[in-house]
């Protein structure tokens, strides 16, 4: 009889419960920002706020990171998420621990039909993707929060009831030392797909559940496999169903096997069954040890509005998409990056509360797009009709010989930063800017994210400004208190240089014609406005619009 070995479980950190002031008696505490849920989205938001000098309370019902049992859960972190982590000061640690990759191969049967290299379109200092177990990412974020020291981390604390009011939210909490109440001027729900807060508010999620079934196998091999993302559309070793294969940190492989729709979750997760799948794929003599095995079936849902009065929803509490292309954890982290700078400006008196409405408008539009993308991948991997099966067979047959058809092979379009549609705060719409590094006056590389690390400000990348124009604009910024930092790209007083026009091309500027143009980046590194022949008046007006103050006069703001 074959014996199966499980690797020793990871030793995850344990965070002590500290009795809060409210348990000492007296009135419930009132806090400007309370975040519930210490997953990737909640931790990213807390860290984003702390990096901007804004305090928050972070509540989680557990006392560790990840899920007990060492499951990998989310593993693929996209370039935009890594750029966010770079601004938060932990990207190098995440990349060093994880496995960076850009090359993906797709197979039909035993033949490769399509491949891609995400590095071909990258100018960022971060890799296109890393594979890293979710609990490591959460661990690094907690360490960073503790180092920044502005977040009140409350472990082993469960929210039992909330009551929303016009200007605040009451929370009832349960802890090992007893129950207490607190009040939040702004409450952030990051509690995940089964959010109890959302349920208490009675908000419809418009959920749908797929019949597609999968089984995750986290496993270590004695002999390593190629460090690439391999995908089979119809693997002969999995009865013609799909398979994904990824390498993660610590030499652990994540292999996802598509299962029959009527598969019994318990049966397909048995070590004997999982071992048979591995031997069918890699040969009868393959040597391995299991780290974790688990089934899953996916669902999707989407709230009508990511804001309900003083409650904001981020991550899976707001939206769930199919796992194809890594749009789960990455989308939640990008929710946090979108909301964080807006909360900071409002909290610091530099923007009106109405700016926060743009969070839902922008991020919900992104999630609608993600749902469309992932639903197409799901239909390709699990056709629902004879016509869809016929179409997939035709695409795979053509892809073996014709390059045009290879782009139609859809095993998951990899996560990218979504564009934002035009709105009152974004007349031109907005798109994400990659984290380029440019030489400074001494030739040392400076990454754009490093220019956004301290404080909360927009970044004006001004190509070859005249000395007088820049001086006037900086004087107006000091007068109005609008949050912006100007950086000269080339010209007589250059802070940074763009000798090969890589940045100019990336920002969509015409070759050789960028002089005098200012590109205005939001604090989340989205290009919000392009101002040719920029003047101080044009810059001030663009900042007013961007921060939701377009209707106000140009008198100085009070912080």
Domains of the chain by residue range: 28-99+130-207+300-381, 431-546
Contact 39, 190 (CB under 8 A): yes
Question: Which residues on neighbouring strands pair with residue 294, listed in sequence order?
Answer: 216
Q: From the CB of residue 5, how many other CB atoms can be counted at a distance below 10 Å? A: 11
Q: What pLDDT shows up at residue 417?
A: 93
Q: What pLDDT shows up at residue 87?
A: 97
pLDDT at 59 over 80: yes
Domain 431-546 has CATH 3.40.30.120: yes
Strands 169-175 vs 158-164: parallel, antiparallel or unpaired: antiparallel
Question: Which residues on neighbouring strands pair with residue 182, listed in sequence order?
Answer: 29, 171
Cα separations in angstroms, 97 against 131, 134, 249: 9, 12, 6
In 57-124, alpha helices (H): 79-88, 91-97
pLDDT at 495 over 50: yes
Q: What pLDDT shows up at residue 51?
A: 97
Across the chain, which distance is largest between two alpha carbons, in Å?
A: 83
H or E segment to which residue 409 belongs:
none
Q: What is the mean pLDDT of the chain?
A: 92
Q: From the CB of residue 548, how many other CB atoms can be counted at a distance below 10 Å? A: 21
Q: What pLDDT shows up at residue 2?
A: 53
Q: What pLDDT shows up at residue 68?
A: 65
Q: What is the pLDDT of residues 257-274, one digit of tens each?
A: 999 989 999 999 999 999
Average pLDDT over residues 156-162: 98
Strands 29-36 vs 56-59: parallel, antiparallel or unpaired: parallel
Contact 394, 342 (CB under 8 A): no
Distant-in-sequence, close-in-space partners of 506: CB < 8 Å, separation ≥ 6: 123, 433, 434, 436
Q: What pLDDT shows up at residue 58?
A: 98
- Dihedral sign (CA 542, 547, 551, 556): negative
Residue 96: is it exposed, middle or buried by C-beta count within 10 angstroms (0-12/13-18/19+)?
exposed
Q: What pLDDT shows up at residue 74?
A: 87
Per cent of the chain over pLDDT 70 is: 96
**pLDDT grade for 556, boundaries at 50, 70 and 90:** very low
Q: What is the pLDDT of residues 370-415, one digit of tens each?
A: 998 888 888 888 888 889 889 988 988 888 888 888 878 887 788 8
CATH code matching the domain that covers 28-99+130-207+300-381, chosen among 3.50.50.60, 3.40.30.10, 1.10.3720.10, 3.40.640.10: 3.50.50.60
C-alpha atoms less than 13 angstroms from C-alpha of 210 in its C-beta half-sphere: 28
Contact 259, 215 (CB under 8 A): yes
| Residue of 111, 557, 128, 77 lying closest to 351 (CA atoms) | 557
Residue located via tokens 């499951």: 71
Alpha-carbon distance of 118 to 124, in angstroms, equals 11
Helix (H, G, I), strand (E, B) or coil at 379: helix
pLDDT at 14 over 80: yes
Contact 260, 210 (CB under 8 A): no
**pLDDT grade for 554, boundaries at 50, 70 and 90:** very low
In 323-466, alpha helices (H): 329-347, 357-381, 386-399, 403-406, 448-451
Helix (H, G, I), strand (E, B) or coil at 497: coil
**pLDDT grade for 69, boundaries at 50, 70 and 90:** low
Helix (H, G, I), strand (E, B) or coil at 503: helix
Cα separations in angstroms, 261 against 72, 112, 376, 552: 23, 26, 18, 58
């Amino acid at each position: 009889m074959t014996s199966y070995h499980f690797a020793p479980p990871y030793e995850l950190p344990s965070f002590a419960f500290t009795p809060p002031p409210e348990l000492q008696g007296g009135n419930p505490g009132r806090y400007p920002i309370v975040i519930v849920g210490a997953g990737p989205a909640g931790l990213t938001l807390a860290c984003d706020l702390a990096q901007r000098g804004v305090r928050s309370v972070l509540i989680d019902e557990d006392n560790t990171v990840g899920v007990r049992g060492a499951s990998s859960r989310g593993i693929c972190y996209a370039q935009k998420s890594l750029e966010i982590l770079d601004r938060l000061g932990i990207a190098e640690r995440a990349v060093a621990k994880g496995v960076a990759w850009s090359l993906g191969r797709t197979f039909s049967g035993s033949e490769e039909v399509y491949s891609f290299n995400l590095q071909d379109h990258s100018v960022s200092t971060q890799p296109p993707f890393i594979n890293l177990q979710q609990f490591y990412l959460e661990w690094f974020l907690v360490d960073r929060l503790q180092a920044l020291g502005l977040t009140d981390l409350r472990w082993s604390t469960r929210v039992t009831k909330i009551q929303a009011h016009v200007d605040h939210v009451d929370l009832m909490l349960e802890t090992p030392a007893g129950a207490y109440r607190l009040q939040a001027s702004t409450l952030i729900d990051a509690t995940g797909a089964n959010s109890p807060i959302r349920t208490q508010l009675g908000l419809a999620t418009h959920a749908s559940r797929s019949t597609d079934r999968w089984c995750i196998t986290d496993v270590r091999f004695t002999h390593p496999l190629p460090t690439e993302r391999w995908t089979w559309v119809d693997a002969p070793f999995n009865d013609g169903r799909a398979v994904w294969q990824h390498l993660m940190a610590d030499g652990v492989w994540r292999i996802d096997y598509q299962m029959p729709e009527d598969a019994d979750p318990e049966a397909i997760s048995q070590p004997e069954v999982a071992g048979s799948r591995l031997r069918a794929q890699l040969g009868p003599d393959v040597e391995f040890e299991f780290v974790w095995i688990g089934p899953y079936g996916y669902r999707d849902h989407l709230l009508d509005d990511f804001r309900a009065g003083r409650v904001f929803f981020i991550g899976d509490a707001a939206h769930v998409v199919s796992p194809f292309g890594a749009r789960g954890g990455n989308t939640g982290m990008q929710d946090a990056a979108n909301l964080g700078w807006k909360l900071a400006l409002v909290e610091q008196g530099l923007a009106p509360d109405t700016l926060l409405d743009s969070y839902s408008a922008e991020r919900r539009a992104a999630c609608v797009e993600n749902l469309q993308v992932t639903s197409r991948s799901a239909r390709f991997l699990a056709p629902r009709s004879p016509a869809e099966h016929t179409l997939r067979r035709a695409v795979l047959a053509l892809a073996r010989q014709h390059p045009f058809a290879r782009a139609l092979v859809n095993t998951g379009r990899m996560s990218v930063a979504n564009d934002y549609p035009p709105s009152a705060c974004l007349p031109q719409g907005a798109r994400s800017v990659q984290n380029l590094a440019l030489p400074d006056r001494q030739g040392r590389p400076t990454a754009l994210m490093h220019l956004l690390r301290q404080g909360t400000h927009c970044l004006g990348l001004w190509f070859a400004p005249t000395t007088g124009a820049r001086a006037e604009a900086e004087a107006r910024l000091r007068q109005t208190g609008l949050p912006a930092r100007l950086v000269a790209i080339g010209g007589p007083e250059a802070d940074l240089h763009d000798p090969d026009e890589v940045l100019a091309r990336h920002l969509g500027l015409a070759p050789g014609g960028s002089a005098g143009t200012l590109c205005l980046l939001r604090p989340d590194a989205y290009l919000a406005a392009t101002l040719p022949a920029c003047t101080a008046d044009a810059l001030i007006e663009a900042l007013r619009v961007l921060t939701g103050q377009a209707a106000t006069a140009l008198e100085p703001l009070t912080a």
